[in-house]
Amino acid sequence: MLFSFITYLEHEKRASPHTVLAYQKDLEQFQEFITISFGLTDMVEAGHAEIRAWMIDLIEQKLTPTSVNRKMATLRSFYKFLLRSGEIVKDPTYKLRSLKKGRSLPEFIQEDAIDKVLSEMNFTPDFSGQRDRIVMEFLYLTGVRLSELLSIRWKDINLYSDEVTVLGKRKKYRIIPLTKSLKTNIIFYKKVFEETFSNIEESDYFIVRNSKEQAYPMMIYRIVREHLDLFVQTTKRSPHLLRHTFATHLLNKGADLNAVKDLLGHSSLAATQVYTHNSIEKLKAVFEQAHPKA
């Protein structure tokens, strides 16, 4: 049934490869646990007690509530699939409760630090250097997700209207404006791209390896870490950190919350509101420093 579920995720739910792989790993871990602990060879046989036991085992392994809840969400999706398929008559995750988790504020890079990254880093004029520049600028100046950046093709870049069309979660498209500086650097990157690989086809990916093959997630992580290490002191140096920074800086400058929500591709305002807490913390610091009665 695992194969059928994975096929369902890929073709009916149209989940991303990253999501499919995460679900598959979670289910394989659960299967291994119930086999070793209870002698069960099929997840169809597992009930609430076995699932609860796995949750406790994960907690004892010191996994964060977020990680445990994600694995439980995988089981919920899997057993709902089995229920609809007629493989089981009762959902064993029905009474399962998520762990409570403290809400942590998303980390972001201070404006002066990100300015140093983009202005003082020595990006070489060859293809690799200009591609790396575009990766860094595009993530920060558009706020796109890693998966969205990897899926962008040249046909999605409109240099006449200064915008890019992005395919986000739930297969929804959104349009994000390009800043003048980003447009200028894209034009130069395009020139270097053509010199390196000859003519650009509309179907060509925007960010590629030196072999012109589509870039992959760990490559983008490497580029981001390499260029943040010298200037940024945060514990996380990931592509998503630049997305957090994009949203936080916009809100710090007074951008409308709904507009930021649309730019980020969030389905609800609640997902965007977490970034306002950084702005509020900044206001509190100013208040406590400046107000005579603070």
Q: Could you give the residue numbers annotated as active site?
A: 145, 169, 240, 243, 266, 275
Closest by CA position to 123, among listed 189, 79, 69, 57: 189
- CA dist 42 and 40 (Å) reads 6
Sequence-distant (6+) residues with CB within 8 A of 199 are none
Give the distance from CA 222 to its chain's centroid.
15
Whether the CB-CB separation of 131 and 207 falls below 8 Å is answered with yes
- CA dist 237 and 293 (Å) reads 38
Per-position b or e across 8-33, b if 16+ CB within 10 A of its CB: bbeeeeebeeebbeebbebbeebbeb
Q: Is 257 exposed, middle or buried (0-12, 13-18, 19+ CB in 10 A)?
A: middle
